[in-house]
C-alpha cells in the first residue's frame, strides 16, 4: 500500500512524483532572465522570487537588493512545481508533449513578432496548452480554478491522448473530434516590442474565455462553446479583433497578432486588477497582525495605523523581488506599529 493519493491525471497510480512542473520550465525561462539564467517572480497577489543556482550575484542584488539569506535559500523553491499530485508515468507523458512543444511551438525568446503560425501541429499544441491550464487548476496555482466540469473534461482528453511517445500521441489524436470542445487562441503583441517579461497571471474572474498571461503571450481557452458564442464573447471584444482558434484544420498552430495599443491597455488593466486584489489581501493581513498584537488603542487609531501600513506597502521602492512580498508587509507593519506604541507609552 502506498501512502500517496491517487494521481490526478490517470486516477489509477499513486501520486508519487515530487517536483512536478505546473508551468513548464521553458515557458518561464525568459522571465527577468539574463543569458539563460533562471530568475522568475511569482506575480500573483504577493510576489515571491525564485532564483536559480546559476544566477550571478550582481543580478541577485538587483532583484533582491541584498544577498540571499539562509532563510531565502531554504524557501527558494520554484513556485511552479508541486509534489505528489502526479504519478511518475503521467509526469513523463507531460514531459513528452512539453519537449514537442518547446521544439516546434512559440519561441518565447524570439524577437520575430510577426509570425502568424508556429511549426507545431495544432492538435498537439492544443494538448500542450490545455495540459498547462489543467495542471494550474488542479494545483490551484495563483488561486486559479477551472469550473469542476471543465477540469474533468480536460482531464479526460489529456488522459486519453497523451502517451509516453509523441508518435503514439499523434496516432491517438488522428481523429480530431477527440479534441472537440477544447479550443484556444494564442495572442502576441504585434512586433513583440517591450514584451511583458514578469507577468504570469491566470485571470481569476475571466472564464469565457479563461485567460492566461505568460510573458509575451496571452492564451485564451474556450471550453465547450460553439463558434457563434465564441464570436460574441464579451472578453474577446477587448481585443477588438477576431482571433484565430486552434486546433486549426490546417496543420500548424495559429497565432493572432494584437495591435500594440490594445495589448498595452489589456496588460495595464490586468495589472490594475492584480493591484486591487493585492490591496484587499494586504488589508486582511494587516488586520490579522493588528489583532494578534492586541494594541490598546481606539478603533479610529487602529484604522489610521492600518492605512499607514497599507500606503507604505503599496508605495515602497524596494527591488522588484521583495517589494510586494509578505515579509515586506510584515516588516512595515511592525515598524509602523512600533512608532505608534512609543507614542502611546
Ligand atoms: Zn498518473
Residues 254-284 pLDDT 10s: 998 888 888 888 888 887 887 787 788 888 8
Sign of the torsion angle spanned by Cα atoms 303, 305, 311, 313: negative
Give me ligand 1 centre to Cα 11, in Å: 6
Q: 252-258 and 182-189 as β-strands: parallel, antiparallel, unpaired?
A: parallel
- Whether the bond into 209 is cis, omega within 30 of 0: yes
Q: Which domain holds residue 113?
A: 20-258
Tell me the CA–centroid distance for residue 51 and ligand 1, in Å: 30
**DSSP 3-state assignment of 302?**
helix
Question: Are 45 and 271 spatial neighbours (Cβ–Cβ below 8 Å)?
Answer: no
pLDDT in tens, 327-339: 888 899 999 998 8
Cross-strand bridge partners of residue 21: 81
d(CA 17, CA 7): 9
The residue out of 208, 234, 258 marking a domain boundary is: 258
User: What residues contact 194, with CB distance under 8 A and at least 6 apart?
Assistant: none
Residue 309: inside a domain, yes or no?
A: yes
Q: Which three cell numbers stand for residue 322?
A: 521583495
C-alpha cell at 214: 505568460
pLDDT value at residue 32: 40
Q: Are residues 116 and 155 in the same domain?
A: yes
pLDDT at 220 (0 to 100): 92
Residue 334 lies in a domain: yes
| Cα 155 to middle of ligand 1, angstroms | 11
Distance 138 CA to ligand 1 centre (A): 13
Q: Ligand 1 centre and the CA of 168: distance in Å?
A: 17
Task: List the one residue out of 296, 305, 294, 291 whose CA is nearest residue 337.
Answer: 305
User: Looking at the structure, do residues 196 and 63 belong to the same domain, yes or no?
Assistant: yes
Q: Looking at the structure, tell me whether residues 306 and 278 fall in a common domain.
A: yes
Q: How far is the CA of 205 from the centre of ligand 1 (A)?
A: 29
Ligand 1 centroid – CA 7 distance (Å): 5
The mean predicted confidence, pLDDT, of the chain is: 80
Per-residue pLDDT of the chain (345 residues; tens, 9 = 90+): 457 799 999 999 999 998 888 888 777 655 444 434 445 444 445 555 555 555 666 766 776 777 767 776 666 556 677 889 999 999 999 999 999 999 999 875 555 556 788 899 999 999 999 999 999 999 987 778 999 999 999 999 999 999 999 999 998 887 666 677 899 999 988 876 655 455 677 877 778 889 988 877 899 998 877 666 766 665 565 676 678 889 876 689 999 888 888 888 888 888 788 778 778 888 888 988 888 887 788 889 989 999 999 999 888 888 777 788 888 888 999 999 988 887 665
Q: Is the dihedral of CA 245, 44, 26, 59 positive or negative?
A: positive
pLDDT of the residue at 241: 65
Whether residues 196 and 227 fall in one domain: yes
Q: Are residues 219 and 278 in the same domain?
A: no
Instruction: Determine the pLDDT at residue 288.
Output: 87
The count of other CB atoms within 10 Å of the CB of residue 265 is 14
Dist CA 334 CA 264 (whole Å): 37
Do 220 and 298 share a structural domain?
Answer: no
As given in the structure block, the three cell numbers for residue 225 are 462553446
8, part of any domain: no
Q: How far is the CA of 83 from the centre of ligand 1 (A)?
A: 13
Tell me, in angstroms, the distance from the centre of ligand 1 to residue 153's CA: 16
In this structure, the answer to whether residues 90 and 211 fall within a common structural domain is yes
Domain identity same for 127 and 152: yes
CB contact set of 190 (below 8 Å; sequence gap of 6+): 113, 114, 257, 258, 259, 260, 263
Ligand 1 centroid, distance to 16 Cα (angstroms): 9
Of 201, 235, 258, which marks where a domain is finished? 258
Statement to judge: residues 231 and 270 lie in one domain: no
Predicted pLDDT at 14: 96
Q: How much distance in Å is there from the Cα of 89 to the middle of ligand 1?
A: 6
Residue 3 lies inside a defined structural domain of this protein: no
- Span from the CA of 131 to the centroid of ligand 1 (angstroms): 13
Asked if residue 272 belongs to a domain, the reply is yes
Distance from residue 132's CA to the centre of ligand 1 (Å):
16
Answer yes or no: do 273 and 245 share one domain. Answer: no
Residue at which a domain ends, from 258, 291, 322: 258
Number of domains in the chain: 2
In a domain, 6, yes or no: no
- Residue 90 C-alpha from the chain's centroid: 21
User: Residue 1 domain-assigned?
Assistant: no
CA 48 to ligand 1 centroid distance, Å? 30
How remote is the CA of residue 332 from the centroid of ligand 1, in Å? 44
Do residue 203 and residue 238 come from a single domain?
A: yes
10-37 burial code (b ≥16 CB/10 A, e <16):
beebebbbeebbbbbebbbbbbbbeeee
Q: Note whether 166 and 290 are same-domain residues.
A: no
The SS3 call for residue 149 is helix
How many whole angstroms separate alpha carbon 96 and alpha carbon 24? Answer: 11
In a domain, 15, yes or no: no
CA of 257 to the centre of ligand 1 (A): 36
pTM equals 0.80
Amino acid at each position: 500500500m502506498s501512502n500517496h493519493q491517487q494521481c490526478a491525471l490517470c486516477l489509477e497510480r499513486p501520486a508519487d512524483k515530487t517536483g512536478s512542473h505546473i508551468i513548464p520550465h521553458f515557458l518561464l525561462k525568459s522571465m527577468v532572465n539574463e543569458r539563460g539564467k533562471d530568475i522568475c517572480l511569482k506575480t500573483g497577489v504577493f510576489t515571491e522570487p525564485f532564483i536559480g543556482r546559476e544566477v550571478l550575484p550582481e543580478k541577485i542584488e538587483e532583484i533582491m537588493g541584498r544577498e540571499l539569506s539562509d532563510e531565502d535559500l531554504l524557501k527558494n523553491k520554484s513556485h511552479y512545481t508541486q509534489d505528489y499530485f502526479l504519478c511518475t508515468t503521467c509526469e513523463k507523458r507531460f514531459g513528452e508533449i512539453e519537449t514537442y512543444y518547446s521544439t516546434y511551438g512559440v519561441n518565447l525568446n524570439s524577437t520575430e513578432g510577426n509570425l502568424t503560425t508556429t511549426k507545431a501541429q495544432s492538435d498537439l499544441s492544443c494538448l500542450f496548452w490545455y495540459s498547462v491550464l489543467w495542471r494550474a487548476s488542479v494545483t490551484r496555482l495563483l488561486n486559479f480554478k477551472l469550473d469542476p466540469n471543465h477540469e474533468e473534461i480536460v482531464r479526460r482528453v489529456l488522459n486519453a491522448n497523451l502517451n509516453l511517445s509523441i508518435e503514439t500521441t499523434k496516432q491517438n489524436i488522428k481523429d480530431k473530434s477527440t479534441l472537440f470542445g477544447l479550443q484556444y487562441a494564442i495572442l502576441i503583441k504585434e512586433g513583440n516590442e517591450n514584451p511583458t517579461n514578469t507577468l504570469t497571471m491566470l485571470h481569476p474572474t475571466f472564464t469565457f474565455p479563461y485567460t492566461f498571461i505568460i510573458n509575451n503571450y496571452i492564451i485564451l481557452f474556450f471550453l465547450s462553446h460553439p463558434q457563434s458564442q465564441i464570436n460574441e464573447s464579451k472578453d474577446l471584444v477587448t481585443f477588438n479583433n477576431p482571433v484565430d482558434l486552434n486546433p486549426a484544420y490546417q496543420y500548424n498552430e495559429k497565432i493572432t497578432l494584437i495591435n500594440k495599443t490594445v495589448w498595452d491597455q489589456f496588460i495595464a488593466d490586468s495589472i490594475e486588477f492584480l493591484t486591487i486584489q493585492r490591496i484587499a489581501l494586504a488589508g486582511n493581513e494587516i488586520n490579522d497582525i493588528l489583532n494578534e498584537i492586541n494594541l490598546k488603542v481606539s478603533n479610529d487609531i487602529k484604522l489610521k495605523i492600518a492605512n499607514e501600513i497599507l500606503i507604505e506597502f503599496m508605495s515602497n521602492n524596494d527591488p522588484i523581488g521583495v517589494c510586494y512580498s509578505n515579509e515586506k508587509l510584515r516588516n512595515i507593519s511592525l515598524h509602523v506599529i512600533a512608532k505608534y506604541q512609543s507614542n502611546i507609552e
